Chain A
Amino acid sequence: MHHGKYRFIVSLLAVPLAVYAVFVVSPYVQAFPIAFTNWEGLSASYQYIGFGNFVTLFHDSVFWVALRHNLFLLVSLPVIIVTLSLFFSAALNYQGGVPGARIYKVVYFFPGVLSIAIIGVLWQFVFEPRNGLLNGFLRAIGLDGLARLWLGDGKTALGSIMAVVVWGGVGFYVVLFTAAMAAIPRELYEAATLDGAGAVQSFRRVTLPLIWNTVQTALAFQVIGALDLFALVKILSVGPGGPDDATQVISLYMYTNAFTYGKFGYASAIGVTLFLINMILTLLTFRLTRRERVEY
């Protein structure tokens, strides 16, 4: 009986484990030693150079620009996306649900299932300077002065890409937050109204504390997402990462180093650094947003 059980377990696990070990575990494990080599180009020869790559990285101005952008996005994107989504969710749930709430949720969520690459191509058209949707719209309503190069202008390039992230990201969190809000018992709102609380107050005193756990999860998702804007930046930015590194982010810089310049050791060092930053920030987010969970 036991013999049969173990043979069964082993035969079920063997293939999946092998696939997972080869394509997931081993690459992650190898990334660390490669980060300590000077491996360049497609030749197989390389030497271990200790922390050399990390020292170079420390003096690499592009890396610092990219890191600064990542940190900026890391703070601003979650704030914008979570605020907007909370606002829309509250509006959708207003007095137990506005008419058409279901349709809104279906429409809002849709960009969230679209490929980031496809969203990138779509918005390339929107931002196109001469015939794009955005400048066309601005000219049509008489705001010609506001029309600009968007992605080609260092001042607006990063902001334009951020707008796309917000456009694509809000729907997911609206659905997430409305689901959490729908679980709040109606009596709590009725009690709040009886106590004289307005819409804003009952949102602050009832809704927000009760869905705080979900907000916290949303923020953690955002932190991970904000470090990885690779596809959008690669497709949307001029250069890519330009103009003049105005939209450079760490993931794109790593990709360029590895697959354009062939600097595999250096790219892995960037990857390891990104990983460490990611770990720290995720832990930090959970600590900062930790609050007593309210049971109801």
Chain B
Amino acid sequence: MVRGRVLGGVSQGFLLVWGAMVVFPLLWAVLSSFKSDQDIFTSPWSLPTRWRWDNFSRAWNESHIGTYFFNSVIVVLGGVVLTLLLSSAVAYVLARFEFPGSRPLYYVFVAGMVFPGFLALVPLFFVVQNLGLLNTYLGLILVYAAHGMSFSVFFLTAFFRTQSKELAEAGLVDGCSHWGVLFRIMLPLARPGLVSIGIFQFLGMWNEYLLPLVLNTDEKRYLVTQGLASIAVTQGYHSDFSGLFAGLTISIIPVLAVYLGFHRQISAGMTAGALK
């Protein structure tokens, strides 16, 4: 039994160390965002001598994090809503109706999950350019939605299949049209699935870096990840250390908030795909 307790203690020790390694850099960044550059340089370890909220307003306005944030919100919300609309339409049809070509169609959508995005990067750039959608919100929203469809169709088709066909047929017998059945019965019942996939897509799109980097090169249209990375890479450390930390903190907070609010659904949703 003593051996058991020692082993338990050792496990706790390792768990604590890893926990500290995860939390520490994040905490350090958040604390640094309240310091002056002077504080950061001379005492990177201590608490701020004076809490400087002006770092945040400087990052928000002068480093344009505010604009980037706003751009991200528009693109991500548009992307999530459009992905949900398009994929639930496809998933509903694939789950409920057998028609010529329904199987291959399903595989075409699902195949998008295994192809590396890099392969399509160059042609995608020209597709978006030829449609006149480079550096536009609409362009990014459409690309995000299209790329979000593979996983969403896969997930939602499975979800719609679990719903009872009897309910839909009862609706039809009672004089509902196909549209009525979809909007009045099936979609409301699918809400939990739509919410899970919505959260999942939100995180994926909020975190996207490569697509905006290629399709969104106008500095005023930068998304928050892209903008932050660009500030960090181009002006680097020499100019405004504390402002950069503030920008970093601003971009972490929404993800942290969503995560703390929904962490159970998020980890369940993200690991569900892997466990199947």
Contact = CB atoms under 8 A, between A and B. Distances in A.
A133 B27 CA distance: 11
Interface in B135-154: 142-143, 145-147, 149-150
Nearest to B139: A23
Given A112-B270, A120-B229, A121-B248, A26 B123 contact: yes
A48 interface: no
A109 B32 CA distance: 23
Interface in B64-113: 86-87, 89-90, 92-93, 97, 99, 105, 108-109, 112
B114 interface: yes
Nearest to A87: B14
A112 B11 CA distance: 22
A118 B251 contact: yes
A224 interface: yes
Interface residues of A, number: 96
A282 B112 CA distance: 15
Contact of B8 (A9, A98, A171): A98
Majority secondary structure, B binding face: helix
A43 interface: no
Interface stretch (B37-45, B53-61, B157-165, B189-197): B37-45
A113 B11 contact: no
A176 B270 CA distance: 9
B147 to A, nearest CB: 6
A84 B86 CA distance: 39
A115 B147 contact: no
A104 B19 contact: yes
A227 B123 CA distance: 20
A36 interface: no
A140 to B, nearest CB: 7
Nearest to A15: B86
Contact of B97 (A9, A24, A172): A9
Contact of B178 (A4, A91, A254): A4
A123 B123 contact: no
Contacts, number: 261
A218 B274 CA distance: 8
B155 interface: no
A140 B11 contact: no
A232 B187 CA distance: 39
Contact of A88 (B15, B86, B92, B109): B15
A23 B142 contact: yes
A274 B121 contact: no
Given A13-B89, A94-B8, 13 more contacts: A5-B178, A6-B99, A17-B90, A84-B18, A91-B15, A94-B11, A106-B263, A114-B255, A120-B229, A131-B241, A221-B274, A275-B115, A275-B116
Interface of A: 4-6, 8-9, 12-13, 15-17, 19-20, 22-28, 30-31, 34, 84, 87-88, 90-92, 94-95, 98-100, 104-118, 120-126, 128, 130-133, 136, 140, 167, 170-172, 175-176, 179-180, 199, 214, 217-218, 221, 224, 227-228, 230-231, 234-235, 251, 254-255, 258-259, 264, 267-268, 271-272, 274-275, 278, 282
Q: Which 10 A-B pairs have the closest CB atoms?
A: A91-B11, A23-B146, A27-B120, A115-B207, A30-B123, A117-B225, A16-B86, A27-B123, A27-B124, A8-B178
7 contacts: A13-B105, A15-B86, A19-B142, A104-B19, A107-B22, A121-B232, A176-B275
